[in-house]
Amino acid sequence: MIIIKHIFNHTPFQYHSPLFKKYFIIFKLLDKIINTSKFQLYYHSNIGRKPYPRIAILKAFIIKHLEGFKFTTDLIQFLKNNPEIASLCGFHFSIPDLSIFYRFLNNSKLYKKLYPIFINIVLPLFNHKIISPTILAVDSKPVKAYTKFNNTKFFNPASRKSPHELSKKSNRNSQATLSFFSKNLNNNKNSFFWGYRIHVITTSQGITIAFEVTKNNIPDHKVALKLIKKIKKHYKNIDFKFLLGDSAYDTNNFYNYTLNVLNTIPLTPKNNRNSHSNNNNNNSIICPAGLKMKFNGFVKEPHRCRMKFRCPIKIANKKEAKNLPHTCPI
């Protein structure tokens, strides 16, 4: 590996492979950003041999993402087959073992250390007007964890059983939670999975400017408030106009916080589950006494299904009865 490094240091750049040129430019820019972010380059260890640089492992995972490798073992094999790319990452003598890569990912403080690097990458894009701050979009996506419950070959997978028939905790991923994934259109049954959820705010060009990885049992609109705080903290001099979201963000806290803190107009469709009225139709049925009839389910008949309405005085709850007369006015 030392001989290969010596050869590439004394070879003209144009004779390298296109793959080497691509990562040479990416890592050259990344080194400048990391120097300003004060990212710790090495693990502090006085015992054993010299540790691998953290920046080298980070560059290796960038290659894994850009090349589309599903497993870390495929990344290690790629680095062994391409020693010039491995040397470009910072592995000049040997390729780390699989446990070294997993140790890097399992570091609990890794997220806080890498987030300033992420901000220093995105912020120049706004300063040079490469991306526009006019429209933002917020959404979340499920992330499956590596556990036997997500394996379809397992005798009790999460996709086939209801949450009540599964254990309440994954042994391998203690922080992973069970959540609803999707609905199978063939048998009209819900699908569940063990894992996490990533919440992202992106620009209209599809570039992420804020993200947060949480458990599945946290509502989307509550995580969106944290993302807005991050945007307000890191992008102080940038004015955003609109923030798009689905019906999961249709809450008063999300509207007020987006308008007052971020000074941005939120645009979300109406979530009918947030409405306390049983009848959401504007063309409500009014009785001869001028009272709004209350929806009371459906009446199924052999060839049709009808909506059923009753007198609000008869079926009103305690809160509704306070605003209604005790007897019929007519």
pLDDT at 13 over 70: no
SS3 (DSSP) at 40? coil
Where in the chain do CATH 3.30.420 domains reside? 131-272
- Nearest-CA neighbor of 179 among 245, 188, 224, 168? 168
- Nearest-CA neighbor of 295 among 310, 317, 281? 310
Q: Under the phi-then-psi rule, with left for phi > 0, alpha for psi from -120 to 50, and beta for the rest, what region is 326? A: alpha
What is d(CA 216, CA 195) in angstroms, rounded to the nearest whole number?
A: 7
pLDDT at 42 over 50: no
Least confident of 10-24, 56-70, 123-137: 10-24
SS3 (DSSP) at 113? helix
Element (H, E) at 63: helix 54-67
pLDDT band at 3 (very low <50, low <70, confident <90, very high): very low
SS3 (DSSP) at 84? helix
- Just give the CATH number of 131-272: 3.30.420
Instruction: Enter the tokens of residue 66.
Output: 């850009």
Which residues is 141 bridged to in the sheet? Answer: 198
213: Cβ contacts below 8 Å, ≥ 6 apart? 111, 143, 196, 197, 198, 199
What is d(CA 322, CA 238) in angstroms, rounded to the nearest whole number?
A: 49
pLDDT at 328 over 50: yes
